[in-house]
Every structure is written in C-alpha cells, then in structure tokens.
Structure 1
Amino acid sequence: MKIEVWSDYVCPFCYIGKRHLEEALEKFPQRDKVEIEFKSFELDPSAPVNTENSIQEILAKKYGTSLEQAQNMTDRMSQQALTVGLDFRFDTNIPTNTFDAHRLTKYAKTKGKEADLTEILLHAHFTLSKHIGDKGTLSELAKHAGLDEKEALAVLNGEDFSQEVRMDEDEARQIGVQGVPFFVINRKYAISGAQPSDVFLNSIQKVWEEENQTSPLQPLGTEGMACDENGCEVPNSKE
C-alpha cells in the first residue's frame, strides 16, 4: 500500500496531520507493508526567504484581521498541536520560503532519508524556530538526518531537484489539491486535511481489505462439482 502526502513545512496542520497518520499506522497490523511518499507543495511560492514580519502579522494581513485575532489563531493551533504531543512556538517562529527545503527533501529521497528529513524540518520550523529558508541552516539540518552536509549545501547552492518539486506541484493541481495536508491512498482514496487518526485508520483498512480480498463474489449454496489444476474429481454417489 502506498500513501502519498502533499504538504508544506510551514503548514501547522501538515505536522498535526502527519502525527494523526502515524497514530493510525501504529494500530494497523500491516504497517510494514505501507509506503509513505512525501510530495512537495508550497502554500505561498511568492513568500520571501527573509522577512521582518512575524507570523501573526502575516496572518493578520492575509485574513484581514487584527493582530490580536491572529494571535488567537496561532494559540488555537498550538493547543491542537499539544493534543498529539507537538510543541508549536509561534512567538519565535520564522516565516520563510520553503522551495529550497522541498528541493533538499528530494535530494534526501535519493539517499533514503526523505522521512527523516521531513520530520526534522517540521520540528525545526515549529518547535526550534529555525530558519528553514536559509541554506546554511538547511545543510545543518541535513546533517542531523544523516546526510553529507557539504553535499547538501552544494545541492542547495545550485538548481538540483527544482524540476522534481515543480512536478509534484503540477501533479497536485492535476488531481485537484487545493490545500494541504492532502493524502492519497493507492491512487484510490483521498483524505483532505488533518483528519482524526480514526479516519486514517478506517480508510487504510478499507483500502487494504478491498485490494487484498480473494474474491469480490459472495458464495451461494454449497460447493458443486468442478475442475481445478489437479483435475476433475467425481464425488461418490450417495447410496
């Protein structure tokens, strides 16, 4: 089973949704048969790498609200994060552009470190208040994921993996992704948003059962005479 996850590193619900999915998979008996692939999605491709504005100021401008209302929004997000064991620190959060972070993740994927780096980047942004748009910071985080720091920095200083990021974003538009997180299970079912873990578990179990059932047909009556690979056996006649 394959689950594709479109998300962004500055999306709080993407981190919460990731935890909900992980909680569901912990209860799924066939967890070892599930492959997770992270797909790139930028909430704001035009966002500057460096800004003097706080996340509250950015949200207030985006939604046309007061700073106090924006603060209330981030407080509510922090409370939701706590329910899954995450510590969001919006007061020291550093807004930035995530394109390079996504490129770095594509590089990490070639080294088998995609999942590790994804978790590290989310934690770095929301809990550690790291500047994940800064190339130096990103290369240091790559090292924590078990990647070569110099090689990661070389990737970041060039244009490598830009096309792979754009392909993910193009694919998101083609299948109708309008917000993240967005989860696609076996290209058959889609889950939009940070749904409760039970929703993920029920969906995963449903797909597993549908794709692993031996036959979609329900038997009627008892088994009659038939032939198989071993031949045709004639049952003994009843006296």
Structure 2
Amino acid sequence: MKIEVWSDFVCPFCYIGKRRLEQALEQFPHREDVEVVFRSFELDPNAKKETPLTIHEIIANKYGISIEEAKRANADVGRQAEAVGLTFRFETMKPTNTFDAHRLAHYAKEKGKLNEMVERLFYAYFTESKRISDRDVLLAIAEATGLDRAEAEEVLASGRYTEEVRRDEEEAAALGVRGVPFFVLNGKYAISGAQPVDVFRRALEKVWEEEQQASPLRSLAGEGGMCADGSCSID
C-alpha cells in the first residue's frame, strides 16, 4: 500500500496528522507493507523568509480576529498536538517561507532519507522554534539526517529540485487539493485533514481488504494445464 501525503512544514495540522497516521500504522498488522511518501505543498508560496509578525499576529490578520482570539485558537491546536505527543511552542515560532525546505526534502528522498528529513523539519519549526528557511539551519538538519553537508549546500545554492516541488504542487492542484494535510491511499482513496487515529486505522483496513480482494486480471477461459504448489497438472 502506498500513502502519499501532501503537507507543509509550517502547517500544525500536517504535523498532527502525520503523527496520527503513524499511530494508526502502529496498530495496523500489515504496516511493513505500507510506504508513506511525503509530497510538497506550500501554504503561502509568497511568504517572506523573515517577518516581524508573531504567529499569533499572522493568524489574527489572516482570519480577522483579535490577538487574544488567535492565542486561544493556537492554544487549542497545541492541546491537540500534546495529545499525540508533540510540543508546539507558538510563543517563539518563526513563521517563514518553506520552499527551500521542500527542495531539501526532495534531495533527502533521492538519498533514501525522506521520512527522517520530514520529521526533523517539522520538529525544528514547531518544537525548536528554528527558522527553517535559514541556510545554516537547513544544512544542520541535513547533516543530522545523515546527508552530506557540502552536497546539501550545493543543492540549496543551485536551485535543484525546484521542478520536483512544482510537480508535486501541480499534481495537488489537479487533484483539487485546497488544504493540507491531504492523504491519498493507493492513488484512489483520499483522506482530507488531520483525522482521528481511528479514521486512519479504518481506512487502512478498508483499503488493504479491498486491494487483497481485487484482481487486475479478468479470466477469458477456464483453467487449463498449469503448475502450482510445486507440481503440474497433466489432465
């Protein structure tokens, strides 16, 4: 089973949804047969790398609410994060542009380190309050993930993996994705949002059961001579 996850590294529900999916997979008996692939999605492609605004002020401006209302909303999200073992530090969070982080994730994917990179980027932003557009921050994350720092620096300086990020975003648009996280199971089943663990678990079970029952072939004749189980029929 393949699960594709469109998400952004500054999206709180993307991190919560990631953890809820992981918890569902822990309860899934066939988890070793599930591949999770993270795809790029920028919530705000025009976001600046640095802003004087706090995350509370950004939320307040975006939704036309007061700073206090924004703080209460963020506190609620923080409690949801705590419920799945995450720590969100809204007071020191550094809102930023995520394009370079997505490019770095594609580089990590090529090196077989995508899942580790995605987790470290989320953790750096939400828990460590790091600016994940900063070149030195990204290089430190790459190195901690087990990637070559000099090669990662060349990736970031050269603009490599820009096309890969854009292709992910174009595919999301073609699928009608307007918000993240967005999960696609086996290319034909979709889950939108950071759903409860039970929703993910039931979806895994349903897709697995249907995929095991489905056959891509339709028989055009009855059984003839064939070999199976170490012997051949000669009737």
TM over 0.5: yes
The answer on whether the counterparts of 1:135 and 1:157 sit within 8 Å (CA) in structure 2 is no
Larger radius of gyration: 1
User: Any residues of structure 2 matched to 1:1-239 within 5 Å, and which?
Assistant: 1-213=1-213, 228-229=224-225, 230=233
**Which residue does 2:228 correspond to in 1?**
none
Q: Structure 1 residues 12 and 227 mapped into 2: Cα distance closer, same or farther (>3 Å)?
A: closer
Q: Structure 1 residues 106 and 231 mapped into 2: Cα distance closer, same or farther (>3 Å)?
A: same
Aligned structure 1 segments of 4 or more residues deviating by more than 4 angstroms: none
Deviation at 1:154, TM superposition (A): 1.3
**Which residue does 2:229 correspond to in 1?**
none
Amino acid at match of 2:147: L
Q: For 1:215 and 1:134, how far apart are their aligned partners in 2?
A: 49
Deviation at 1:213, TM superposition (A): 2.0
- Out of 5-14 and 201-210, give the one that drifted further: 201-210
Give the length in aligned residue pairs.
223
Deviation at 1:135, TM superposition (A): 1.2
The DSSP-based 3-state class of the residue aligned with 1:191 is: strand
Deviation at 1:211, TM superposition (A): 1.1
Deviation at 1:140, TM superposition (A): 0.5
Deviation at 1:118, TM superposition (A): 0.1
The DSSP-based 3-state class of the residue aligned with 1:17 is: helix
The DSSP-based 3-state class of the residue aligned with 1:130 is: coil
Q: For 1:76 and 1:208, how far apart are their aligned partners in 2?
A: 34
Q: For 2:175 and 2:78, how far apart are their aligned partners in 1?
A: 31
Deviation at 1:12, TM superposition (A): 0.2
Q: For 2:179 and 2:215, how far apart are their aligned partners in 1?
A: 36
Amino acid at match of 1:156: L
Deviation at 1:227, TM superposition (A): 5.7
Structure 1: state its 5+ residue gaps: 217-225, 233-239
Amino acid at match of 1:139: L
Q: Structure 1 residues 227 and 156 mapped into 2: Cα distance closer, same or farther (>3 Å)?
A: closer
The DSSP-based 3-state class of the residue aligned with 1:46 is: coil
Q: For 1:58 and 1:130, how far apart are their aligned partners in 2?
A: 17
The DSSP-based 3-state class of the residue aligned with 1:119 is: helix
Deviation at 1:15, TM superposition (A): 0.3
Deviation at 1:215, TM superposition (A): 7.0
Deviation at 1:205, TM superposition (A): 1.0
Q: Structure 1 residues 214 and 193 mapped into 2: Cα distance closer, same or farther (>3 Å)?
A: closer
Q: Deviations over 1:205-235 (max 9, x none)?
A: 111111112779xxxxxxxxx8653265xxx
TM-score computed with the length of structure 2 as normaliser? 0.92
Q: Deviations over 1:117-176 (max 9, x none)?
A: 000000010000011011111011111111111211111111100000000000000001
Amino acid at match of 2:120: I
